[in-house]
């Protein structure tokens, strides 16, 4: 089923495929792109920065642009990444995958270019690609600014084959086995059934804004949202029980899309609802134009972040091929020198057909998280922590650990939440807590203080 058109999309990057001529220029190529995007919003719908956090373990086969761009989300899970967040980061592309389905006889090499519309950087990619800023350059050092740096990613001379030998595909088993009909991609010595990347970026406003008005959540849109026909609000508890509801936007309202209560009844929570929510999202992704195996792989890539990690979150789908992916064929080679044979220019190869789907997650700050933050900060005498008085600074390791256990209960985005609370309502205990556990944000440099690109040192080969 083709996607409905969309004037603007939540993704901040655009990918272009440039096909080069061959003897089989009339053969067609179908491209499916799917990905996940994450935002964090406070109770007013304002984005919270510092979410350069990997909600899932980063696969080891991915090429890393530079260390220090992603933060581990769970201290008990071995994940690659630094220990500090960057407040410039207000959105993440947690995964973006392109897969290819050529007609029989297709043998056209092509280039794939991915470029941010705004400010952002690519953190991981596969197969090998040309990346800007170059890996190891000084733009990735402590103090990078997403307001100025603009990432680019390019795969050159990509070839796909209709026949697939999964035993030779250099890809993780979860994707290589589940998407068995996708063609094998060969580029830069790597072989896989996909091209993939992850990225971090800065976006001041999202497509949807979720604010709390008393007992209600009010969902509004800053842009045309006619393509969004349903949303899913879910609350995941620490014990694994999940409650969710499907939201349908109002057809006659212009000021907001939907209003709904921000709390669920106790009977709404169930251990089976995680599977039910996943099944509903899979069904919606298939209806949006992807194959069943692709829909399953998309949700596989976010299993922990979506269905296990505690938190209140809103999901919705957007078509990714309108603003995220641009595809145009490269003009065939033509003689340009006197010693080259003259002749008519070959016809332009047909443009690949693209279907894209983006699953966006907005993490919402819940009242229970605000209560935990108040206990950590000692800002409410009614919320004393164990044997620690509300305004007392911890004196022993046990007392520090007591506060840290509350910090862990904040969930995946605990670090940016603590820093946001410090900005809103600083207290001596909260400041001491951040300093004790070294939770300070990564320093960023204002665009007005950074040297221009021409003045920056070029990376050494």
- Residues in Cβ contact with 176 at an 8 Å cutoff, skipping those fewer than 6 apart: 166, 169, 192, 193
Q: Which of 131, 129, 136, 133 is nearest to 148 (CA)?
A: 133
pTM of the model: 0.83
Phi-psi region of 414 (alpha: psi -120 to 50; beta: other; left: phi over 0): alpha
Q: What is the pLDDT of residue 4?
A: 38
Residue recorded with tokens 């309108």 = 322
Residue 39's pLDDT is 93
Give residue 122's pLDDT.
85
Q: Give the N- to C-terminal CA distance of the chain in Å, as an integer.
A: 47
Q: For residues 301 and 281, is the Cβ–Cβ distance under 8 A?
A: no
Per-residue pLDDT of the chain (461 residues; tens, 9 = 90+): 444 333 333 334 556 666 555 544 556 888 898 989 999 999 999 999 999 888 777 777 888 887 767 777 665 433 333 357 888 889 888 888 888 888 887 777 888 888 776 677 888 888 888 887 666 554 544 445 555 556 788 888 888 765 555 444 444 544 544 556 888 888 888 888 888 888 888 875 567 899 998 899 999 887 667 788 899 999 999 899 999 999 987 765 555 678 999 899 999 999 999 999 999 999 999 999 999 999 998 998 888 899 999 999 999 998 864 334 444 444 444 444 555 555 566 666 677 888 889 999 999 999 999 999 999 998 764 444 555 555 688 888 899 999 999 999 998 999 999 999 999 999 999 999 999 988 888 776 544 344 443 343 333 33
Q: What is the pLDDT of residue 335?
A: 46
Question: How many whole angstroms separate alpha carbon 294 and alpha carbon 372?
Answer: 38
What's the confidence (pLDDT) of residue 66?
75
DSSP assignment of 344-389, as one string? PPPPPPPPPEEEEEEEEEEEE--HHHHHHHHHHHT--GGG-BTTB-
Tokens of 267: 């009977």
What is the predicted pLDDT for the residue at 10? 36
pLDDT, position 77: 39
One-character DSSP codes across 39-73:
EEE-TTS-B-----EESSPPPTTSEES-TTSSEES
């Amino acid at each position: 089923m083709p996607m409905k058109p969309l004037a603007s999309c939540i993704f901040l990057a655009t990918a272009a495929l440039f096909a080069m001529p061959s003897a089989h220029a009339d053969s067609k190529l179908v491209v499916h792109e799917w990905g996940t995007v994450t935002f964090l919003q406070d109770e007013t719908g304002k984005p919270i920065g510092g979410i350069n956090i990997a909600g899932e373990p980063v696969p080891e086969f991915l090429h890393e642009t530079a260390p220090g761009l992603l933060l581990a989300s769970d201290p008990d899970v071995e994940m690659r990444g630094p220990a500090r967040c960057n407040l410039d980061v207000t959105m993440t592309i947690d995964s973006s995958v392109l897969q290819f389905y050529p007609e029989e006889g297709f043998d056209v090499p092509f280039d794939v270019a991915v470029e941010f519309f705004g400010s952002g950087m690519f953190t991981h990619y596969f197969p090998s690609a040309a990346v800007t800023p170059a890996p190891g350059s000084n733009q990735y050092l402590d103090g990078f600014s997403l307001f100025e740096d603009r990432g680019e990613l390019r795969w050159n001379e990509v070839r796909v084959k209709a026949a697939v030998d999964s035993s030779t595909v250099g890809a993780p088993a979860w994707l290589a086995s589940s998407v068995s009909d996708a063609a094998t991609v060969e580029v830069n010595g790597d072989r896989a059934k996909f091209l993939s990347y992850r990225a971090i970026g800065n976006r001041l406003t999202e497509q949807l804004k979720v604010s709390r008005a008393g007992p209600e959540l009010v969902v509004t849109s800053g842009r045309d949202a006619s393509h969004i026909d349903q949303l899913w609000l879910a609350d995941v508890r620490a014990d694994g029980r999940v409650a969710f509801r499907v939201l349908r936007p109002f057809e006659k309202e212009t000021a907001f899309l939907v209003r709904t209560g921000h709390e669920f009844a106790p009977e709404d929570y169930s251990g089976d609802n995680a599977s039910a929510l996943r099944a509903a999202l899979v069904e919606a992704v298939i209806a949006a134009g992807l194959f069943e195996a692709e829909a399953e792989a998309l949700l596989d890539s976010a299993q922990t972040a979506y269905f296990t990690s505690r938190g209140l979150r809103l999901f919705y789908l957007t078509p990714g091929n309108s603003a995220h992916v641009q595809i145009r064929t490269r003009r065939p080679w033509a003689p340009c020198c006197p010693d080259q044979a003259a002749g008519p220019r070959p016809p332009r190869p047909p443009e690949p057909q693209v279907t894209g789907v983006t699953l966006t997650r907005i993490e919402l700050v819940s009242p229970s998280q605000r209560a935990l933050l108040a206990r950590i900060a000692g800002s409410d005498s009614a919320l004393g922590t164990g044997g620690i008085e509300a305004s007392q600074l911890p004196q022993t390791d046990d007392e520090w650990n007591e506060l840290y256990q509350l910090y862990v209960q904040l969930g995946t985005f605990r670090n940016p939440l603590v820093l946001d609370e410090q900005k809103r309502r600083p207290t001596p205990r909260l400041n001491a807590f951040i300093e004790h556990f070294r939770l300070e944000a990564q320093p960023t440099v204002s665009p007005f203080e950074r040297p221009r690109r021409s003045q920056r040192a070029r990376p050494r080969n």
